[in-house]
Chains A and B, each alone.
Chain A
Amino acid sequence: MHPAFSVIFLTTLLGVGQGLFLALFSSQAYSVVDVLPAQSGNFYALGAFIALIFLIGGLVASVFHLGHPERAWRAAAMWRTSWLSREVIALPITMAVIAIYALVNWLGIDADLYGLGIPNQVALSVGAFGVVATIALFVCTAMIYAAIKFLQEWASPLTVVNYFLLGTASGFGFATAYAAIAAPELAQFYGGWAITLTIASLLTRAASLFRNARIKQKSSVQTAIGVRHNKVRQGSMGMMGGSYNTREYFHGRSVAFLKSVKWIFLVLVFPIPLLLLWLGLAQANANLLMLAFGVQYVGLLFERWFFFAQANHPQNLYYQVVG
């Protein structure tokens, strides 16, 4: 497939925003049972606001993917069958809940909803909805790709797992840097999870690379045109100027380029951020932690580019030779 930068930014920015929100909510939930020190409402509010900015950034990026963004509201119609439609519904819900979560924390709205006598019951209730919406959004985003069964590189549960783990890893990475500045006592908690999630995503992403390297394509030029002969060669694709079919489904780069992108993302997403996170946490250095997030985010752009470029669309079988 041809990697579109709109979708690359959309999926990576959403991942950071969602991961950051999950990090904030988990630390606030832990603080209720005194596992972690509680922070002021402003800490969670500002963090959730930054998460919201990441989500808005993703939304803006997605607009560039559409031919008719002014009709985008129509995209909520077919949620019964289309994962894209489900994402279009899940995204604004997630954004709204995170915005409310930020507002509740900022204004310090609280009430003893459940008669437990513990603080932040309103914020945590809103946040719990946010967790459900966030995870639903992760699943919707990934299933857009995993649901196309003949894009065999994508049609795997690993796609969903990778979107979730890579998104949360980068989100927790950002939370670590944010905490190092605003709430240093939380940096170890976020950083520990950022490292755990990065290692977990390394395992699952490596599993999908391993799977895709050994994939056996079900379609061949024989099934494409229905001729049973071992030697079938295209003589002409029917046009010389190219078309949507030759632009949308080919990444247009060499095998060596593809391979180099794979190694770039493998280095930028996993070992370097892990090293920087470890150093940053050991020295309590916010700059190093921010650098860890920055490097990992850039790596994720490469990762997403590779994710799209690696997918081999069966329609390409019809477009092998110009003439």
Chain B
Amino acid sequence: MTQLALVIDLNVCVGCHACVTSCKQWNTSGEAGPLFDDNPYGKDPTGTFFNRVQTYEVGSFPNTETLHFPKSCLHCEDPPCVPVCPTGASYKRKEDGIVLVDYDKCIGCKYCSWACPYGARELDEKQQVMKKCTLCVDRIYDMSIPEDRRKPACVISCPTSARLFGDVHDPESDVSLAIRESGGYQLMPEWGTKPANHYLPRRKTKLRIHADELVRADNPLSKEDIKHETSKESSLDDWLM
């Protein structure tokens, strides 16, 4: 079984919002109709987005760290939003594990959005149907796009390659390797939703130096405890300086 997912490396994300804008651009231009924007250039603009980048501050000054946190649908393996849908408009695809909404069946009751602990779903105010990240399902299978470009718009646009895309059920895929080897984790594990998307934590490369490593351990002078009085006369070495 395939479970497509994103792996987002928080160690690399610089919070540039390129994934947000490219996601909006791709998904507002697709067959499913625009992602509604209300009052985009006026006061109190609002609109539908599949993806957001948030910023957090960890720790207290001066030991603080800024964390940029991209947030979209996690395509849970046990999605709580799917069974609550009364019409079956919200579903999880068997073939690739993407959680989707059938906009023609959705009645806009908002129950699925209540049932998502992550707030990944947004009601489109214009179309009055629930919308969410589709993992660019209209892009990743499009044979008219070169194969290496058949990835979600956010993954392609990320300038730092903080977003990886692949099958988390394939143990040898890039995403599985990243999760396994770089400490990939899931959000809000306490609710048992088993999100397919994973996040890679901030990592620091540190060199641990022990005190004995600062002194030459095999120094024959210290080892044999030989201490010579240094001569006051000039030696050959002094001539070299």
Residues of A within 8 A of B (CB): 1, 65-69, 71-72, 74-78, 81-85, 88, 144, 147-151, 218-219, 221, 223-227, 229, 231-239, 241-245, 248-249, 313-316, 318-319
Contact = CB atoms under 8 A, between A and B. Distances in A.
B87 A229 contact: no
Of B44, B45, B54, the most chain A CB neighbours within 10 A belong to B54
B211 to A, nearest CB: 29
Contacts of A233: 56-58
Contact of B87 (A69, A75, A226, A245): A75
Given A225-B187, A315-B117, A81 B84 contact: yes
B219 to A, nearest CB: 42
Given A234-B56, A243-B46, A318-B119, 8 more contacts: A78-B86, A78-B88, A81-B82, A82-B84, A148-B115, A149-B191, A150-B80, A231-B59
B199 A313 contact: no
A233 B59 CA distance: 8
Contacts of A221: 56
A243 B187 CA distance: 21
B46 A219 contact: no
Given A245-B122, A318-B119, A66 B48 contact: no
A62 to B, nearest CB: 9
The DSSP consensus for interface residues of chain B is loop
Interface stretch (B65-73, B161-169, B226-234): B65-73
Nearest to B17: A238
Contacts of B59: 229, 231
Contacts of A82: 83-86, 111
Contact of B122 (A65, A219, A225, A243): A243
Interface stretch (B92-100, B101-109, B151-159, B174-182): B101-109
Contact of A244 (B89, B111, B122): B122
| Smallest CB-CB A-B distances: 4 pairs | A67-B108, A315-B119, A67-B128, A238-B52
A234 B54 contact: yes
5 contacts: A221-B56, A223-B187, A229-B59, A234-B57, A245-B122
Contacts of A234: 54-57
A315 B116 contact: yes
Given A78-B86, A82-B83, A318-B118, A243 B56 contact: no
A234 B66 CA distance: 10
B185 interface: yes
B182 to A, nearest CB: 13
A83 to B, nearest CB: 7
Contact of B86 (A75, A244, A315): A75
A150 B117 contact: yes
Given A75-B86, A151-B114, A231 B55 contact: no
Contact of A68 (B44, B108, B202): B108
Contacts of A69: 107
A313 B56 contact: no
Given A66-B107, A67-B123, A78-B88, A219 B190 contact: yes
A248 B113 contact: yes
Most interface-central of B89, B127, B199 (chain A CB within 10 A): B89
Interface of B: 17, 20, 44-49, 52-60, 66-67, 69, 71, 80, 82-89, 105-111, 113-119, 121-123, 125, 127-129, 185-191, 199, 201-202
Contacts of A78: 83, 85-88
A91 to B, nearest CB: 12
Contact of A227 (B67, B105, B123, B125): B67
A85 B86 contact: yes
Given A66-B108, A75-B107, A225-B69, A232 B85 contact: no
B58 A227 contact: yes
Contacts of B85: 78, 82
A4 B127 CA distance: 19
Given A245-B122, A248-B123, A224 B187 contact: yes
Contacts of B115: 148
Contact of A74 (B54, B87, B116, B186): B87
A71 B44 CA distance: 31
B55 A236 contact: yes
A169 B71 CA distance: 45
Contact of B47 (A227, A229, A243, A248): A243
Contacts of B69: 225
B119 A77 contact: no
